[in-house]
Structure 1
Amino acid sequence: MERTQTPETGQTGQRAAREQDDTGQQARSAPATNRAMTTFSAADEEKQRGVRRMKLTAAGLLLFVALVYVLAKLASHQGAGPWAGYVAAAAEAGMVGALADWFAVTALFRRPLGLPIPHTAIIPTKKDQLGVSLGDFVGENFLSEDVVRQRLRSVGIGSRLGAWLSVPDHADRVTAELSAALRGALTVLRDSDVQAVVGEAITRRAHAQEIAPGVGKTLEKIVADGGHKRAVDLVVSRAHDWLVLHSDSVMDAVQGGAPGWTPRFVDRKVGERVYKELLRFCAEMRDMPSHPARAALDRFLTDFASDLQADSDTRERVERLKTDILGRDEVQELIASVWTAVRSMIVSAAEDERSELRLRVRASLLSLGARMAADPKVQGKVDGWLESAAVYVVTTYRKEITSLITDTVASWDAEHTTKKIEANIGRDLQFIRINGTVVGSLAGLLIYTVSRALGA
């Protein structure tokens, strides 16, 4: 009969196919974990041999008490003394204890005698649930805020870290490691990417920030403090020296601008006169701190500083000038080259053990270590920072941490996981069988003795 596929069955089939694909993907992603968990090492093989030896010992003890029971019963039927009853009771109870504990231990790893008895083969059948329970247990008892804070506070990381850092050799080691990390980080970064980011950040900040008021305040303070006078002295002195060396150039410039109808000797006289006046003006301004031109320059700079802060037209012109300057290719290339210079300087300082950077870092570490080792307040701050950081991590990522446990356990192969767990704890579990045989025998002997005493 031809099967008709309804929309519901089609969706169910698609969902089953997706689940099968997801299962297949999980199975393909887990082999490495499974192999890491279930591969038996030489130590595991040795532990497994120890488990087999203990199993033989426990089974041998069971056979021994069974043999004792049989012999005691035979002796009792043949008229042996009352002691035969005591021995038989002890051996009988020992067999019961041994068998009960054998069942309990075996039920952890497999079904006893292969029978489908409920609540047996606990580890292979409940492996995923055990993983979830283990993850929840770790999350509640190890990743809680109170536990983390209490544990870190009891360790006293601040004082220990301070004592460790205060040792010069340790400070040198930390400095070297920080330098290596810094060089590695700078090596990984691509210059073109960083240059683009730096250039864009500087340009964006410069466009967003109006510079005229700040420049005006700075200029106002410079003029008030007389800081501009040295610049004026330098400019005037250089102008005077230039005029002395280039007298012909000045006179030629004056003569070249004269009308064509004037006589040449008149142009020459005018040029000489203009040159001498310029030279005299520069010399007087250079040598006279109270020269009127200097006072006029002070007034001009003061008014200009005020306009930069209060005059809207002046501020707009400065902003337009700033935009024009930032838009020039030369300026953008200069901004981009800042990173190259800074990177080269930092790498060079990080590589040089005697550089100012490494010496300052080392001195800072030693100073910090000494303070942390001696000052309880600093220790408290460091401990508080570490506690807060650890609490933030465990509270924010608790599910991710516990899911690592549950997902890892879920990815293990049940059969091999059972064998590996049994190899690691099975030897100790066999002592339960031995103890059950011994304790059962003693309990049986005690019960038989009390029963005989009460019966008598």
Structure 2
Amino acid sequence: MTLPAALIATPVDAERAAELRRVKWLATGVLAATFVIFIAAKALLPTHPVFGFIAAFAEAATIGGLADWYAVVALFKRPLGLPIPHTAIIQSNQERIAEKLGEFIENNFLEAGPVEAKLREIDFGSFIADWLRDRKRSEDLARFVLRMLPEALAATESSGLMTFISRRVTTQILAIDLAPLAAGALRGFVQEGKHGGLLDDILRVLHQTLTQQETMAVIRDKVRAEMPTLLRLYRADKFVVNRIIASATKFFEEVRNDPQHPFRGEFDRMLLSFVDRLGSDKAFADRIEGLKRDLLARPELANLGRTIWANVKDFLERSASGESQVLQHQLTRMFVEAGDALDGDADLRSEINQGLTAILRTVVAEQKSGVSSFIADQMKSWDMEQLISLIEVNVGKDLQYIRFNGSLIGGLAGLALYTLEYALRLL
């Protein structure tokens, strides 16, 4: 497997490779120079004792340079291509290095303490708020959500999820005992005094209905049909109807204008009596339950549900295709407003930070061994010759200076030892 893009050689690495070659030639030149000086000084040693010191320095410098050359080369490859044990260290230990690197990262970077401390430094809430407040990003997010909706709807239909949801909703509705809920709602309605306005509305509607010409004509026909013929001849029906309507409308006005009217008390008692029966009378409960089941069994309700779903689906598909921009604009506005609200709510941002920290900490704790194995497996699959070349390009220059240091330190050590030997011979 080749190296990942982040590790492939760059133009900068090419410059470093050229510099590495220059330093290598320089270090090799120094090694060759010390060897030549050693040979020359040995040859000139009979002419003057000073050449002994030069020869000692050059000899030790040559040995030190050769030793460090061997050490540097053995780190990356086999010196002179010879199968010498314990050479090409990086290449020979690829799997072990990969395993140790994975373990090192797992034990030192993915431990719960350091991970949690680092996560707590991140203000996730502010990042989300700033991200959503950017209208361009919110538009992109809205567009992405809309593109995903048709596929989600298709998957929902093909998977039978809609049927399952419909059955679950129907089951839950059937399990609801509506009688106590209705009784509680009506009792609260009465206790809050809202029924007074309802009574006023009923009286107003009755007054308007009774005073309409059509209503009066119907009542007059009914009264005329019940009256004796003699009274009909004298058109007593009109008088009776007018008196009935006048009395009724006057009564309605009195009740509407008098908050303490006795009829209001009777209306309260009637409602409360109905509420009590609704909450305790099994006949009422059975009747409501039957109405509920009949309503849910109506084919019109199923057709209505399918029609609503088809319309919603069509609207979402048109929004996803860009034919309609209404939903996208609404989603964008919603996301931007959510970002503004989050930016102004420090407590909510703190809760988001704590929640994400807990989630990510748990994820890292559960997956850190997998991360370690992934890193190790990736390194094991890399082309080590390519990786070694890249490592050598980036750190090889510094390693070449070890050869210079080896020659210098070795030469000085050889000179010191030769000086000590020369001094002992003079004693």
Taking structure 2 as the reference length, what is the TM-score of the superposition? 0.76
- Aligned match of 1:70: 39
What letter is aligned with 2:385? E
Whether the 8 Å CA contact 1:148–1:387 is kept in 2: the answer is no
- Aligned match of 1:91: 58
**1:86-137 per-position Cα deviation (integer Å, ceiling 9, x unaligned):** 2222222222222222222212222111111222222223223222211111
**1:176-233 per-position Cα deviation (integer Å, ceiling 9, x unaligned):** 6456435532452238468959867765553444333232112102112220121221
The alignment's C-alpha RMSD in Å is 4.3
- Aligned match of 1:102: 69
Whether the 8 Å CA contact 1:285–1:294 is kept in 2: the answer is no
What letter is aligned with 1:362? D
2:290 and 2:103 map into 1 onto residues whose CA distance is 64
Q: 1:44 aligns with which of 13, 16, 21?
A: 13
- Aligned match of 1:188: 148
- Aligned match of 2:322: none
- Aligned match of 1:121: 88
| SS at 1:228 equivalent | helix
1:422 equivalent in alignment to 2:392: yes
1:133 equivalent in alignment to 2:100: yes
- Aligned match of 2:28: 59
Quickly say closer, same or farther: Cα 1:69–1:337, change in 2 above 3 A.
same
1:325 and 1:122 map into 2 onto residues whose CA distance is 81
Unaligned segments of structure 2, at least 5 residues: 320-324
What letter is aligned with 2:182? V
2:238 and 2:91 map into 1 onto residues whose CA distance is 111
| SS at 1:189 equivalent | helix
1:200 and 1:249 map into 2 onto residues whose CA distance is 52
Q: Equivalences for 1:301-320 in 2 at 5 Å?
A: 301-320=271-290
Quickly say closer, same or farther: Cα 1:58–1:269, change in 2 above 3 A.
farther
1:247 equivalent in alignment to 2:220: no
1:308 and 1:51 map into 2 onto residues whose CA distance is 95
What letter is aligned with 2:187? E
What letter is aligned with 2:65? A
2:231 and 2:400 map into 1 onto residues whose CA distance is 128
- Aligned match of 1:285: 252
Taking structure 1 as the reference length, what is the TM-score of the superposition? 0.72
- Aligned match of 1:332: 305
- Aligned match of 1:235: 202
1:361 and 1:391 map into 2 onto residues whose CA distance is 25
| SS at 2:87 equivalent | coil
Tell me how far 1:63 sits from its aligned partner.
Answer: 0.6
**1:235-267 per-position Cα deviation (integer Å, ceiling 9, x unaligned):** 2212321232222663488489x69x999959x
Q: 2:343 aligns with which of 365, 368, 377?
A: 365
**1:349-383 per-position Cα deviation (integer Å, ceiling 9, x unaligned):** 4445xx8x845742551453xx89xxxxx97x787
1:89 and 1:201 map into 2 onto residues whose CA distance is 96
1:302 and 1:201 map into 2 onto residues whose CA distance is 35
Quickly say closer, same or farther: Cα 1:100–1:309, change in 2 above 3 A.
farther
Quickly say closer, same or farther: Cα 1:175–1:37, change in 2 above 3 A.
closer
What letter is aligned with 1:80? H
| SS at 2:194 equivalent | coil
The percentage of counterpart residues that share the same residue type is: 29
Quickly say closer, same or farther: Cα 1:85–1:303, change in 2 above 3 A.
farther
Q: 1:217 aligns with which of 184, 187, 193?
A: 184
Whether the 8 Å CA contact 2:138–2:336 is kept in 1: the answer is no
1:241 and 1:47 map into 2 onto residues whose CA distance is 98
Quickly say closer, same or farther: Cα 1:287–1:115, change in 2 above 3 A.
same
- Aligned match of 1:79: 47
Quickly say closer, same or farther: Cα 1:124–1:269, change in 2 above 3 A.
farther
Q: 1:145 aligns with which of 89, 112, 116?
A: 112
2:240 and 2:153 map into 1 onto residues whose CA distance is 58
1:249 and 1:425 map into 2 onto residues whose CA distance is 109
Whether the 8 Å CA contact 2:231–2:237 is kept in 1: the answer is no
1:198 and 1:183 map into 2 onto residues whose CA distance is 27
1:332 and 1:119 map into 2 onto residues whose CA distance is 77
Tell me how far 1:157 sits from its aligned partner.
Answer: 4.3
1:238 and 1:416 map into 2 onto residues whose CA distance is 92
Quickly say closer, same or farther: Cα 1:383–1:349, change in 2 above 3 A.
closer
1:395 equivalent in alignment to 2:365: yes
2:231 and 2:17 map into 1 onto residues whose CA distance is 120
Q: 2:412 aligns with which of 427, 439, 442?
A: 442
**1:129-167 per-position Cα deviation (integer Å, ceiling 9, x unaligned):** 2222111111111111222244456xx545x987x999x
Unaligned segments of structure 1, at least 5 residues: 1-29, 373-377
What letter is aligned with 1:241? Q
What letter is aligned with 1:250? V
- Number of matched residues? 402
